[in-house]
Amino acid sequence: MRISISGMMCAGCVATVEDALKAVPGVTDASVSFADHSASIAGDVEPDAVIQAVADAGYQAALMTGLDDGSEREAEQQREYRNLMKKSALAAAAGVPLMLAGWFGWLPELSQPGGRLVWLVIAVVVAAVMFLSGRQYYVGAWKNFKRHNANMDTLIALGTGAAWIYSILVVLFPNIVPSFSRHAYFEAAVLILAFINFGSALEIKVRGKTSQAIKRLIGLQPKTARVLRDGVETDVPVEEVGLDETIRVRPGEKIPVDGEVIDGEGVVDESMLTGEPVPAGKRQGDSVVAGTINQSGSFLFRSTRIGKDTTLARIVEMVRDAQSSKPPMQRLVDRIAAVFVPAVLIIAIITALIWFNFGPQPKFSFMLVTAMTVLVIACPCALGLATPISIMAGVGKAAELGALIRNGEAMQQAAKLDTIVFDKTGTLTEGKPSLGEIHLLPSAPDGDEKDLLTIAASLEAGSEHPLAAAIVQAAKDRGIEPKPVEDFETIPGHGVTAKIDAGQCALDGIAGRGYCPGGRNAGACREIRRHTHYPGGGRQGRGSARIVRRHPGRIRRHDQGAA
């Protein structure tokens, strides 16, 4: 089970939420990721019990289901990002003028006539700004205090609250501190909130970027499917597709769910799954996978896996699990973060006492400034974010490139690798085909290689097949211009036929596979087939192209290899 968690402000919250989840009866393991504010729960437990446990700990949670659960969270993150930027701008608009006025001596002294009134107005304005731009921190600190916890909210509330309380006491009761300590720190309180809100907004931005790989994977699935119901084809949302339904896929469309072809033929680009740049021909009985693209042809297929059971959904879930997994380094960081805030509070108190007892005058000012500095700069966010953000970025980038990493521990161990052995002889490629070499039959005239490539490029110029692009590019690289063709015809899963210089030509396996189109080139194709054979009596190697050319009175066959 996966849930989305809101309200976590720092890495110290991770331990609090994990402890709350593990205390739920039936939960065998729980892992909380601060990087994407989610949790993975293992065990036999009801979602409501898990969500209630998170709520009792002072946070909010929602169950994550399906492929589209990231879209709503992304929209929420964007709203939160804009909200934090507005709060940061508000705090900066109040703090920067106050800071400049203090530097240039534009503000009156407390002892001057009307000076105290000016500072009281400033105190009220600053308090309003602190409430509007930092309310979430004070509310969070109070909730944690009631639960005997402490996190980043506690540090911010204490730091900014101490600055404001000290300043208002100086304004109202200036005689309680020496004259050289009578300084207000209102600008520090609001500027701290400006920087904290700005940093939180940047954190949300970073989290959004690390989830781009998931968004791209989810984007592979179309939103609708063309389902055949009661003899009528109807477009319905992909979520409404049921098992054993008949679905139509037309040229250029993405396959919505996993299934098995029951009628028709097509050429499907399965590179998102297999990494192979060459599309696979699909006919009756073949399986198709959600997210792959039907390049040509049209077919009907029966849905066999839908929703969370599709191959694409399982890939997305695997990537999510890997992104939220914790390597040994992250588990160590979480243990440190769990005691980080209490340790910072103790250090701040010790710092204040040291300055009060051993520091120079004005002791009160130095004591406040140093303690407040310790509280504010010791936020554990960077500590808690560094490792999970790195894992999310690494796993996500690998998924974009077609490599699925099962967990973060594998990534940590990969840093120690110095040798990698691939048991994939001949199949590690650049991801796109290119022309390797050309083979001519012994019966072909000498010096006919250029002529052969000219015919191949002319035939393939009108094709969208990846091998066609490789052949056309090879011809361009050698300065060969394709010739005009007539009666061009594409046979899905087989090849093309056309007339070049009044001669009939066929490329790829149309003739050799015993298949001929039923159109205007059928007669020429059958005649060519009678004169075509394969070396050794078998099928040629994958990734090769065969060209057969028929002129009046003579038929010639050429072989062309593409690697």
Looking at 48, 244, 418, 423, which residue is catalytic?
423
Determine how many CB atoms are found less than 10 A away from the CB of residue 346: 10
- pLDDT at position 562 is 42
Cβ-count burial 122-157 (b if 16+ within 10 Å, e if not): bbeebeebbeebbebbbebbebbeeeebbbbbbbbb
pLDDT of res. 431: 61
Instruction: Note the pLDDT tens digit of each residue in 376-406.
Output: 777 656 666 677 777 777 777 777 776 777 7
Contacts of 562 (CB under 8 A, 6+ apart): 433, 434, 435, 436, 467, 470, 471, 543, 544, 545
Q: What percent of the chain has pLDDT over 70?
A: 79
Quote the pLDDT of residue 118.
92
What is the pLDDT averaged over residues 156-181? 83
Contacts of residue 251, defined as CB under 8 A and 6 or more positions apart, other chains included, come to 266, 294, 295, 296, 297, 298
Q: Residue 446 has what pLDDT?
A: 53
Q: Please, which residues have CB within 8 angstroms of residue 383's CB and are 6 or more apart in sequence?
A: 11, 333, 336, 337, 340
The residue behind tokens 């019990």 is 49
Is there a contact between 312 and 18 (Cβ–Cβ < 8 Å)? no
Cis before 362 (ω within 30): yes
Write down the pTM of the prediction.
0.64
Residues 40 and 368: their CA atoms lie apart, in Å, by 42
Say what angle helices 381-400 and 328-358 make with each other, to 10 degrees. Answer: 160
Residue 213's H or E segment, with its range, is helix 212-219
Model confidence over 33-89: pLDDT tens digits? Answer: 877 788 888 888 888 899 999 888 888 888 876 555 556 667 777 888 899 999 999
Can you list the domains of the chain with their CATH numbers? Answer: 2-65 (3.30.70.100), 73-209+326-380 (no CATH), 220-321 (2.70.150.10), 449-516+525-529 (3.40.1110.10)
Range scoring the smallest mean pLDDT among 76-80, 93-97, 444-448: 444-448
Say whether 423 is catalytic: yes
List pLDDT tens digits, range 223-270.
899 999 988 999 999 989 999 999 999 988 999 999 999 999 888 988
User: pLDDT per residue over 497-540, tens digit each?
Assistant: 888 876 767 675 443 444 454 555 455 455 444 444 433 333 33
pLDDT of 555 > 70? The answer is no
Distances (CA, A) of 88 to 97, 153, 294, 468: 14, 16, 49, 55
Which pLDDT score is estimated for 159? 83
From CA 32, how far away is CA 240, in angstroms rounded?
32
- Over range 314-328, report the average pLDDT: 77
pLDDT band (50, 70, 90) for residue 444? low
Residue indicated by tokens 């980038």: 397
| Mean pLDDT over each residue of the chain, to the nearest integer | 79
Place of tokens 């944690």: 144
C-alpha dist (Å) from residue 318 to 220, 311, 536: 16, 10, 44
C-beta separation of 10 from 151 below 8 A: yes
